[in-house]
Amino acid sequence: MTVGLTGLGTYVPPDRITGAEIAEISGIPEEVVVEKMGVAEKRVCAPDEDHATDMAAAAARTALADADVDPEAVDLVVYHGSEFKDHVVWSAAAAIAEAIGAENAYATESYTLCAGAPIALRQAAAQLSVEPIDTALLVSASREEDLVDYGDADASFMFNFGSGASAYVVESEPGDRARATVHASAAETDGSFAGDVVMPAGGSKRPASDETVREGLHTLTVPDPDGMKERLGPVSLPAFCSVADQALERSGFERDDLDFVALTHMKRSFHELVLDELGLDPERDGYYLDEYGHVQSVDQALAVEEGLADGRLAAGDLVCFLAAGTGYTWAATVLRWHG
């Protein structure tokens, strides 16, 4: 069975914070924030606007219109965005399905942090291939920028977190309506990093209380930043290349066939290193999201849209959605872009 991506949509909130402003707040030199961290600016949400479901629903409407699919024709809604959403212990997927009128869909969630997009495509393609359903809507949103404390130097690698949403319509046997054909995927996890990025309070180990709020324990932090960097450095590039190579091989391709990589936002030098290692030109065969920052599993959709807009991605190109999420999971899905 052929599974195709037939619709694509994104949403970003109107408010921005610049790299210069982040530098001023954090005390980190502007050159480091803009050039090394790769944040010229990023989108942020107003306190009482653009909750995860609001943004995801906006992106979903755009994707459905792009695919020319009625919401009532959707069989499955998958939310693969941030767990920091409107409420805790709560289904954003169900709320999004209701908001867009997908009344015939069942709604579920898939959470792999920033590696979510390739894995959600993998899961949807598998379901469409074996289940009596034809149309899936994959939605994601993040405003984890709210959880970043710019005064916490240990959390500086998260200063690039931005806000936004994405949506994909994925269909079985779409024929010439497909914007892209979904091929194979790969993923791997190194669970030794599971405790390296945490919000100290708010879970069952340390429930929220007046004390945890006073102590500022409800922002993301890295308990051992030097240790994490020392352990992650040797394994990250090989893991990115491993999942990309596996996904390509399972799809019947190799590195030389690859034309464009939609890569998770990371520091500029490592972005360039990953693409170079895969035999690609970072200035031509990928898109660096320095005007968005890192928007969790939304990054791949933003990179595709910007790649299309400036001609880096064209009909016939072989594309790899390549991502990593703290925990640490690396994931890749290969697509053939049609237009």
- At 94, is the pLDDT very low, low, confident or very high (cuts 50, 70, 90)? very high
Across the range 97-119, mean pLDDT stands at: 98
**CB burial of residue 230 (10 Å; 0-12, 13-18, 19+):** exposed
The predicted pLDDT at position 311 comes to: 96
Structure tokens at 12: 């970003």
Place of tokens 């908001």: 99
CB–CB of 13/163 below 8 Å?
yes
Q: What is the CATH number of domain 3-180?
A: 3.40.47.10
The predicted pLDDT at position 139 comes to: 98
Q: Where in the chain is the domain with CATH 3.40.47.10?
A: 3-180, 182-337
CB–CB of 41/159 below 8 Å?
no
Neighbours of 72 (CB within 10 A): 11
The predicted pLDDT at position 1 comes to: 87
Across the range 141-165, mean pLDDT stands at: 95
- At 325, is the pLDDT very low, low, confident or very high (cuts 50, 70, 90)? very high
- At 95, is the pLDDT very low, low, confident or very high (cuts 50, 70, 90)? very high
Domain 182-337 fold is Peroxisomal Thiolase; Chain A, domain 1 (3.40.47)
Structure tokens at 28: 């980190």
The pLDDT tens digits of the residues spanning 44-89 come to 999 889 999 999 999 999 999 999 999 999 999 999 999 999 999 9
**Which amino acid makes up residue 98?**
E
Find how far residue 147's CA is from the centre of its chain.
17
The predicted pLDDT at position 292 comes to: 98
- At 339, is the pLDDT very low, low, confident or very high (cuts 50, 70, 90)? confident
Q: How many helices (H) and strands (E) does the chain have?
A: 9, 11
Residue (of 220, 207, 161, 205) closest to 38 by Cα position: 161
At 270, is the secondary structure helix, strand, or coil? helix
Residue (of 179, 185, 162, 159) closest to 4 by Cα position: 179
Calculate ∠ Cα 322-186-315, nearest 5°. 50
Mean pLDDT of the chain, nearest integer: 97
What pTM, to 2 d.p., does this model score?
A: 0.97
Residue (of 269, 270, 253) closest to 186 by Cα position: 253
Residue (of 56, 90, 264, 260) closest to 168 by Cα position: 56
At 40, is the secondary structure helix, strand, or coil? coil
The pLDDT tens digits of the residues spanning 156-168 come to 999 999 999 999 9
The predicted pLDDT at position 47 comes to: 87
- Spatial neighbors of 243 by CB under 8 A, at least 6 apart, are 186, 187, 188, 322, 330, 331, 332
At 47, is the secondary structure helix, strand, or coil? coil
Cis peptide before 111 (omega within 30 of 0): no
The secondary structure element, H or E, covering residue 210 is helix 210-214
The pLDDT tens digits of the residues spanning 240-285 come to 999 999 999 999 999 999 999 999 999 999 999 999 999 999 999 9
Q: How far apart are CA 336 and CA 339, in angstroms?
A: 10
Q: How far apart are CA 79 and CA 12, in angstroms?
A: 17
